[in-house]
Structure 1
């Protein structure tokens, strides 16, 4: 398998972490989707990463689809239960983490791709409200639990840690550590795992 992605993308990192936890072999193919010579559309018509190229030539996208598929390939480090409410709860965690990232990335694009006089402060504020509201919701859901779902490591933890890691990377001014110390504890614990150490955004 080949994973098309970038070293900065939190969605790509999520898939890389899952690959590492599941001990799956793959080749990472770096792609800058913003470059004029990008060829990502040949694999993903949406022009986004991550994109997983299968051995039969087909492609999977986006990160949620890829992560769910990868978890079926081996019983090593099962990250999702087979069905039911527990599985749905973990997927809600993933949707929340990805939603925070979606909003934060829109802010980054607004402030880096548009000239200052073209930027919308109303739009930026609206997206940042989603970021802060999402962080508060994650903190409330986590409480004092050691992991996001019950007492064991799941895809929810992978998604949340990738979200927090990217915010620390791209939005260091957001002091989510002080505001939500339980999220900081979870993030620090997960950051000690080899899968996270080997995929720090850059």
Structure 2
């Protein structure tokens, strides 16, 4: 398999963490989707990363789809319960963490791609409101638990850890570690795993 992505994308990181946890072999191809010469639409018509190219040349895209598929490929480190309420809770956590990222990335792009005089303060405020509301909900759901769902490591923890890691990378001014010590504790614990240590976001 070949994963197309970047070292800065939290969605790509989620898939890389899953691949590492599942101990699956893959090659990693860097792709900058923001440059004119990008070829990403040859494999993903939506022009997004991550994109997983299968052995037969078919492709999967969207990190949630890819992660769910990969969990079926190997019995090692099952990240999704087979069915029922617990599986739904894991998927809700993933949607929550990804939603925080969706809003934060819109702010990042607004600030990066538009000159200051064209930026919408109202738009930025609205998106940051989603980020902060999402973090509050993540903290409330986690409580004093060691893991996001149940008593063991799941895809919920992968998604949450990647979201928190990207906020630390791109939004150091958001004081989630101070405001939500339980999220900081979770993030620190996850950072001890090789899958997280080896995928810390950086600008290549």
TM > 0.5 between the two? Answer: yes
Q: CA deviation at 1:10?
A: 0.2
The within-5 A match list for 1:35-74 is 35-74=35-74
* 1:122-201 equivalences in 2 (<5 Å): 122-201=122-201
Aligned to 1:83: 83
The runs of at least 4 consecutive aligned structure 1 residues that moved more than 6 Å come to: none
In structure 2, how many angstroms separate the alpha carbons of the residues matched to 1:42 and 1:62? Answer: 15
Aligned-residue RMSD, C-alpha: 0.4
Gaps of 5+ in 2: none
Q: Secondary structure at the match of 1:29?
A: strand
TM-score (ref. length: structure 1): 1.00
Deviations 1:35-91 (A, max 9, x none): 110000000001000000001111001000000000000110000011111111100
Q: Secondary structure at the match of 2:24?
A: coil
- Alignment partners' CA distance in 1, 2:194 and 2:173: 27
**Number of the residue aligned with 2:104:** 104
Alignment of 1:114-129 (within 5 A): 114-129=114-129
Gaps of 5+ in 1: none
Output the CA distance in 2 between the equivalents of 1:144 and 1:40: 42
Aligned-partner Cα distance in 1 for 2:26–2:83: 27
Distance 1:118 1:186 in 2: 38
Distance in 2 of aligned mates of 1:84 and 1:150: 13
Alignment TM-score, normalising by the size of structure 2: 0.99
Distance, in Å, in 2 between the alignment partners of 1:61 and 1:82 is 22
Q: Secondary structure of 2:3's match?
A: strand
